[in-house]
Amino acid sequence: MNPEIIALMGSPVPDGNTGKLLEQAIKGAEDAGCRVVKVDVTQLKFSPCMEYFFCEKNETCMIKDDFTPFIERFKSIDGLIIATPVMTMGIPGALKSFMDRFQVYFMAKYVRHASFITKEQKKWRKTLLISIGGMDIENDFDGVILSTKAFCQITDCPYWDGVFQNNMDKISDITTKPEIMDAAYKKSYEMCSLIKKDMEASGQNE
């Protein structure tokens, strides 16, 4: 079976600039031989984490909603692509709430010391982050990167690399930045090729 990648779309604008970069990355992943499932997080109906702490002792979440299937799905994926605009210096609410619901993984890994992800899977799982921001300021992506890296550790899908473009208020159309469009394709292609290679080295995917 070809490696499976989930592509998380954090922007509410399907064909906006984040969407265009994500399409490039999906193409790169598919060209590298991966199956990609795109998830429009803003279209899902789910609650934020309510801190019921049910997951402290259980392998699932008390809240049943559109997020629920992702608890299982994330156990078997081989890589992640996360595409998001910067909002209020961080990850926009829907995507951030989606990430917070992986407290189920946090409790398994850090409290019960029984990560859902096997040692074998950790050899190949990787995450690519793609992010754009409107402002022309330093540190525009610090919040997004910090949260993403924490999420990647919690889900045992290590942060691999990122593609970033700030100053979008001025640039307006990301296709006028072919080097960034190319970077989204190439980094995704490269990451997905590495995932395949690492899986093969572990005797998977033959």
Q: How far is the CB of 143 from ligand FMN (least distance, A)?
A: 8
Of the residues 50, 135, 146, 201, which one makes contact with ligand FMN according to CB under 6 A: 135
Pick the stretch among 17-25, 26-34, 64-72, 146-154 that binds ligand FMN (CB under 6 A): 17-25
Taking CB under 6 A as the rule, which mask of x and - marks residues 40-69 in contact with ligand FMN?
Answer: ------------------------------
Query: CB count, 10 Å around CB of 148?
Result: 22
Q: Is 18 in the site for ligand FMN (CB under 6 A)?
A: yes
- Choose which of 3, 79, 133, 162 interacts with ligand FMN (CB under 6 A): 133
Exposure of 32 by Cβ count < 10 A (0-12 exposed, 13-18 middle, 19+ buried)? buried
Closest CA to 44 of 101, 89, 3: 101
Angle at 61 between CA 60 and CA 67, to 5 degrees: 105
Structure token pair of residue 189: 């292609």
The 148-167 contact track toward ligand FMN, x by CB under 6 A, reads ------------------x-
Q: How many residues bind ligand FMN (CB under 6 A)?
A: 18
DSSP secondary-structure letter at 4? E
Q: Rounded to an integer, what distance in angstroms lies between the CA atom of residue 138 and that of residue 68?
A: 37
Contact indicator for 151, 99 with CB cutoff of 8 Å: yes
Q: Does 144 bind ligand FMN (CB under 6 A)?
A: no
Judged by CB under 6 A, the residue of 80, 154, 168, 184 near ligand FMN is 168
Indicate the pairing of strand 35-40 with strand 79-85: unpaired
Residues that bind ligand FMN (CB under 6 A): 11, 13, 16-19, 85-89, 132-135, 140, 166, 168
